[in-house]
Amino acid sequence: MFALVDGTNFYVSCERVFQPRLEGVPVVILSNNDGSVVSLSAEAKAYGIRRGVPYFEIRELLRHRQGQALSSNYALYGDMSGRMMRRLAAHAPIEIYSIDEAFLDLHGMERYIQAPGGIGRDAKRDVLACTGLPTCVGVAPTKTLAKAANRLAKKYPELQGVLVLDTESRRERALRALLVEDVWGVGRQYALALQQKGVATAWQLAGVGEAWARKHLGGVVGWRLVQELRGQPCQGLLPSEDGTLRRQSLSYSRTFGQPLQLFDAVWGAVSTYLIKAAEKLRAQGDEAHILSIYLSKNRFDPQLQGPAGRTATLTLPMGPTADTLQLLHYGRQLFGRLWEPGNAYTKAGVVLDGLESRERPRQLQLFAPEPGPTPKGRPELMQCLDQVNARFGRGKVTVGCAVPSGGEGAPWQSKSQWRSPAFTTRLEDLLLIN
């Protein structure tokens, strides 16, 4: 049996843990630059607000309904996610699926602990007691069915946030109540095609034959999906190759607070993102083989000519590294390939890929020159840099190219007029109780 534990309206719930005044109030969380809705409360959904809608379209509705709009606070959400996952990992082997979702492997536990449904309920109570975050739990023989059970547990309040599909009758009843577009792994285009062929519910999809599934659902992947709906597991937990939950790639991107045309301003943004990505890389003890940088213009600009975005990628010639200065050196080369004078850029990002542990022996390239020694004192410098920033605050010590000229605020800084304090990650923002 598998359990899927999902944070209920996760971003909103994180805010409500530290701001109880938001309970029962329509709340929306906005994207970078406060542009559109990325998360919302049940109260906001009841008024017809949907994820992805631009904020200016719902501003008056929120004001009329005495609702609240908040800027995204990813430092808070990431830290609360870590707390939630650590509590879940205390109950069963875990696969972190997203910032607010995790699969638990419950196979064999009924013999030594208790029934899978009981473990799911205990995990739900534990997360709520230790973090204040409400969750929904779906328990079923396969991951696809656990996803379905979780979705239905959210939909029907009488289930109290937990649904266990441990019998054939419960599985059938759940799949009959689930639309095919709500099945995990069925995308929008597939859902439309299935509906045109008379397959409207998950129960109908579970009843198709192997040949039909391979023809209309993408080959063997579609057939495995059907098998999972029938209760036959085709996939288990998916940790990384080394048995940990380390990320296989790292990225950092933001939309600018305003369009940028100056070389130094855009490079300052890219270098800032690369510095932060390198910090994450060192924090998980890895080095990167591949570096990518991308720049984006305003795709809604009627005068735009050519593609809105461009990407440049480089396999690092001297082997993998987590050294900020080396990554900035190669990043500057990639940035030079992408830069087009006279254009206004609205977004940039960096991606570090081909990650491998620093503890493993380094794999050499057949025709590449042997990598030279790391500059003397450089690993110690990176360690010292991370320690200082961990103690005094992120970005307190950084590289000069990421510092705005003239001592002014960073022109690439995203707008966040209504961001809540970082209650759990900054000492200055620690919640005070009078």
- Closest by CA to 27, choosing from 13, 338, 283, 36, is 13
287 three-class SS: strand
Q: Are strands 101-105 and 94-98 parallel, antiparallel or unpaired?
A: antiparallel
Instruction: Name every residue whose Cβ is closer than 8 Å to that of residue 227 and which is 6 or more positions away in sequence.
Output: 234
Amino acid at residue number 157: P
Q: What is the pLDDT of residue 83?
A: 93
Predicted TM-score (pTM) of the model is 0.78
Lowest mean pLDDT among 276-280, 322-326, 428-432: 428-432
* 158-191 per-position pLDDT tens digit: 888 999 998 999 999 999 999 988 898 888 888 8
Q: Are strands 135-140 and 2-7 parallel, antiparallel or unpaired?
A: antiparallel
Asked if residue 69 lies in contact with residue 56, where contact means CB atoms within 8 angstroms, the answer is no
Amino acid at residue number 142: T
Q: What is the pLDDT of residue 229?
A: 92
Q: Say how far apart CA 289 and CA 331 lie, in whole Å.
A: 13
Q: What is the pLDDT of residue 75?
A: 86
Mean pLDDT of the chain: 86
139 three-class SS: strand
pLDDT, mean of residues 7-22? 93
- Closest by CA to 294, choosing from 354, 350, 343, is 350
Residue 244 has pLDDT above 60, yes or no: no
pLDDT, mean of residues 224-252? 75
Residue 110 has pLDDT above 60, yes or no: yes
Q: Are strands 27-30 and 68-71 parallel, antiparallel or unpaired?
A: parallel
Kind and range of the H or E run holding 22: none
DSSP string, 292-347: EEEEEE-TT-TT--S-SEEEEEEE-TT--B--HHHHHHHHHHHHHHH--TT--EEE
Q: What is the pLDDT of residue 173?
A: 92
Q: Say how far apart CA 276 and CA 293 lie, in whole Å.
A: 14
What distance lies between CA 18 and its chain's CA centroid?
22
Q: What is the pLDDT of residue 273?
A: 92
Sole residue written with tokens 């607010």: 100
105 — phi, psi (to 5°)? Answer: -95, 110
Residue 243 has pLDDT above 70, yes or no: no
